[in-house]
Structure 1
Amino acid sequence: MPSILLGKTATPDRRAVELAARMGNRHGLVAGATGTGKTVTLMTLAEGFSRIGVPVFIADVKGDVAGLSMPGTPTEKLQARIRALGIDDHSPAASPVVFWDLFGTSGHPVRATASDIGPLLLARMLELNETQTGVLEVAFRMADEQGLLLVDLEDLRAVLARVAEQRKEVSARYGLVSAQSIAAIQRALLRLESEGGHHFFGEPALEIGDLMRTAPDGRGLIGILAAENLVLKPRLYSTFLLWLLSELFEQLPEVGDPDRPRLVFVFDEAHLLFDDAPPALRQRVEQVVRLIRSKGVGVYFCSQFPDDVPGEILGQLGNRVQHALRAFTPRDQKAVRVAAETFVPNPSLDVESLLPRLAIGEALVSTLSADGVPSPVEHTVIAPPRCRMGPVTPAERHDVLAGSPLHGRYDQPLDRESAAEALARRASPPADTPAPGPAPRRGGREGLVETMARQAARTVGSQIGRQIVRGLLGSLLGGRR
Structure 2
Amino acid sequence: MSGILTEAGIFVGGGGADRELPQQLLLRYGNRHGLVAGATGTGKTVTLQVLAEGFSAAGVPVFLADVKGDLAGLAKAGSAQGSLHDAFQKRADNIGLDLSYQSYPVTFWDIFGEQGHPVRTTISEMGPLLLSRLLDLTEAQEGVLNIVFHLADAEGLALLDLADLRAMLAHVGARADELELRYGTISSASVGAIQRRLLVLETQGAVSFFGEPALDLADMMQAAPDGRGQINILAADRLMGSPRLYATFLLWLLSELFEQLPEVGDPERPRFVFFFDEAHLLFDDAPKALVDKVEQVARLIRSKGVGIYFVTQSPTDVPEAILGQLGNRVQHALRAFTARDQRNLARAAETYRPNPRFSTETALREVGTGEAVTSFLEAKGVPGMVERTLVRPPQSRLGPLTSEERKELLAASALGRKYDRAIDRSSAAELLAKKAQNAAIEGQEDGPGPASDTGGEREFNRARRYTPGGSAAPGSSLKSPRGGAASRSDSVAEVFGKAMARQIGSKAGQALVRGVLGSLFRSR
Does the aligned pair in 2 maintain the 1:416–1:471 contact within 8 Å?
no
Does the aligned pair in 2 maintain the 1:242–1:285 contact within 8 Å?
no
Q: Per the alignment, in what secondary structure is the counterpart of residue 491 of structure 2?
A: strand
Q: Per the alignment, in what secondary structure is the counterpart of residue 357 of structure 2?
A: coil
Does the aligned pair in 2 maintain the 1:22–1:370 contact within 8 Å?
no
Q: CA deviation at 1:466?
A: 6.6
* Alignment match, 2:491: 471
Distance in 1, matches of 2:376 and 2:333, equals 18
Distance in 2, matches of 1:154 and 1:284, equals 31
* Alignment match, 2:311: 302
Distance of aligned partners of 1:115 and 1:376 in 2 relative to their CA distance in 1, 3 Å threshold: same
* Alignment match, 2:401: 392
* Alignment match, 2:95: 85
Distance in 1, matches of 2:43 and 2:239, equals 22
| Correspondence for 2:331 among 322, 326, 330 | 322
Distance in 2, matches of 1:276 and 1:124, equals 13
* Alignment match, 2:450: none
Distance of aligned partners of 1:16 and 1:209 in 2 relative to their CA distance in 1, 3 Å threshold: same
Is residue 356 of structure 2 the alignment partner of residue 338 of structure 1?
no
Q: CA deviation at 1:355?
A: 0.8
Is residue 312 of structure 2 the alignment partner of residue 292 of structure 1?
no
Q: CA deviation at 1:130?
A: 1.9
| Correspondence for 2:29 among 3, 6, 23 | 23
* Alignment match, 1:120: 129
Distance of aligned partners of 1:386 and 1:320 in 2 relative to their CA distance in 1, 3 Å threshold: same
* Alignment match, 2:211: 202
User: Which segment is superposed worse, 148-157 or 465-474?
Assistant: 465-474
What is the letter of the counterpart of residue 91 of structure 2? Answer: R
- Specify every segment of 5 or more residues in structure 2 that has no aligned partner in the other structure, as ranges: 1-6, 443-454, 456-480, 497-524
Distance in 1, matches of 2:190 and 2:234, equals 34
* Alignment match, 2:361: 352
Distance in 1, matches of 2:112 and 2:426, equals 23
Distance in 1, matches of 2:488 and 2:222, equals 28
Distance in 2, matches of 1:474 and 1:87, equals 56
* Alignment match, 1:450: none
Q: CA deviation at 1:22?
A: 0.6
RMSD over aligned Cα atoms: 2.1
Distance in 1, matches of 2:75 and 2:489, equals 38
Is residue 9 of structure 2 the alignment partner of residue 3 of structure 1?
yes
Does the aligned pair in 2 maintain the 1:245–1:288 contact within 8 Å?
no
Q: Per the alignment, in what secondary structure is the counterpart of residue 299 of structure 1?
A: strand
What is the letter of the counterpart of residue 40 of structure 1? Answer: V
User: Which segment is superposed worse, 279-288 or 42-51?
Assistant: 279-288
Distance in 2, matches of 1:272 and 1:61, equals 13
User: Which segment is superposed worse, 69-78 or 57-66?
Assistant: 69-78
* Alignment match, 1:456: none
Q: CA deviation at 1:231?
A: 1.1
Is residue 286 of structure 2 the alignment partner of residue 266 of structure 1?
no
1:34-433 alignment to 2 at 5 Å? Answer: 34-74=40-80, 75-88=85-98, 90-429=99-438
What is the letter of the counterpart of residue 291 of structure 1? Answer: L
Distance of aligned partners of 1:379 and 1:183 in 2 relative to their CA distance in 1, 3 Å threshold: same
User: Which segment is superposed worse, 378-387 or 332-341?
Assistant: 332-341
Does the aligned pair in 2 maintain the 1:69–1:96 contact within 8 Å?
yes
What is the letter of the counterpart of residue 471 of structure 1? Answer: S
Question: Post-superposition, which runs of at least 4 consecutive aligned residues in structure 1 deviate over 6 A?
Answer: none
Does the aligned pair in 1 maintain the 2:158–2:495 contact within 8 Å?
no
Distance of aligned partners of 1:466 and 1:251 in 2 relative to their CA distance in 1, 3 Å threshold: closer
Distance in 1, matches of 2:277 and 2:317, equals 12
Distance of aligned partners of 1:474 and 1:248 in 2 relative to their CA distance in 1, 3 Å threshold: closer
User: Which segment is superposed worse, 397-406 or 278-287?
Assistant: 278-287
Distance in 1, matches of 2:225 and 2:337, equals 49
Distance in 1, matches of 2:385 and 2:494, equals 60
Distance of aligned partners of 1:293 and 1:146 in 2 relative to their CA distance in 1, 3 Å threshold: same
Does the aligned pair in 2 maintain the 1:73–1:388 contact within 8 Å?
yes
Distance in 1, matches of 2:345 and 2:144, equals 44
Q: TM-score, normalised by structure 2?
A: 0.83
Please give the per-residue CA displacement for 1:114-136, whole angstroms capped at 9, x wherever unaligned. Answer: 11111111111111122211111
Distance in 1, matches of 2:424 and 2:131, equals 21
Q: CA deviation at 1:13?
A: 5.1
Does the aligned pair in 1 maintain the 2:19–2:95 contact within 8 Å?
no
Distance in 2, matches of 1:462 and 1:268, equals 35
* Alignment match, 1:439: none
Does the aligned pair in 1 maintain the 2:31–2:302 contact within 8 Å?
yes
What is the letter of the counterpart of residue 181 of structure 1? Answer: S
Q: CA deviation at 1:2?
A: 3.2
Q: CA deviation at 1:11?
A: 1.5
Q: Per the alignment, in what secondary structure is the counterpart of residue 243 of structure 1?
A: helix
Distance of aligned partners of 1:474 and 1:383 in 2 relative to their CA distance in 1, 3 Å threshold: closer
Distance in 2, matches of 1:469 and 1:353, equals 69
Distance in 2, matches of 1:379 and 1:61, equals 27
Distance in 2, matches of 1:462 and 1:417, equals 11
Distance of aligned partners of 1:162 and 1:302 in 2 relative to their CA distance in 1, 3 Å threshold: same
Q: TM-score, normalised by structure 1?
A: 0.90
Q: CA deviation at 1:469?
A: 5.3
Distance in 2, matches of 1:30 and 1:475, equals 42
Does the aligned pair in 2 maintain the 1:111–1:202 contact within 8 Å?
yes
Q: CA deviation at 1:179?
A: 1.1
What is the letter of the counterpart of residue 65 of structure 1? Answer: L
Distance of aligned partners of 1:475 and 1:125 in 2 relative to their CA distance in 1, 3 Å threshold: closer
